[in-house]
Amino acid sequence: MVKQSTLDGWLLNHFSELLKKGSLHVAKTKTPIVLYRNTMEEEGESYQETICTLTEGYIVIQVITSGGGIVPSVQQQLVFPIGEFPDWLMRQSKDLLQRCVDFLEDQLK
């Protein structure tokens, strides 16, 4: 079990560094980076979309519903300082964290 916690710790540190680099990139370009988008279709033509965006110093997660007879609206919005986001995401989904790491590694080459 010690090896797993060490690997998780390394992954969290690596992700934190990638987020800091990404935040500096955002500051230079003034363009946020979308870390991930997840869409769930509801009955009919409506859907719920979760969008996670890296901004200058923060991560913003928005849950938006739209379509059909539903007026587009933000149902939930979470804002994390860069330092708090990796631990939160690790608790939510290791697969999603790995997806974000892979994406940032590719984007920040």
pLDDT at residue number 4: 57
> Can you give the pTM of this predicted structure?
0.84
Question: Identity (one letter) of the amino acid at 49?
Answer: E
Retrieve residue 69's tokens. Answer: 């007879």
- Say if residues 49 and 37 touch (Cβ distance below 8 Å): yes
Q: Any idea which residue has 């010690």 for tokens? A: 2
Closest CA to 35 of 82, 1, 69: 82
Question: Using 50, 70 and 90 to split pLDDT, how confident is the model at 88?
Answer: very high
Q: Which DSSP category does 56 fall into?
A: S
Q: Which has the higher per-residue pLDDT, 47 or 58?
A: 58
Arithmetic mean of pLDDT, 25-47 = 89
- Say if residues 93 and 18 touch (Cβ distance below 8 Å): no
pLDDT at residue number 8: 82
Closest CA to 104 of 62, 61, 59: 59
pLDDT at residue number 5: 62
Q: How many residues does the chain have?
A: 109
Decide if pLDDT at 14 tops 90.
yes
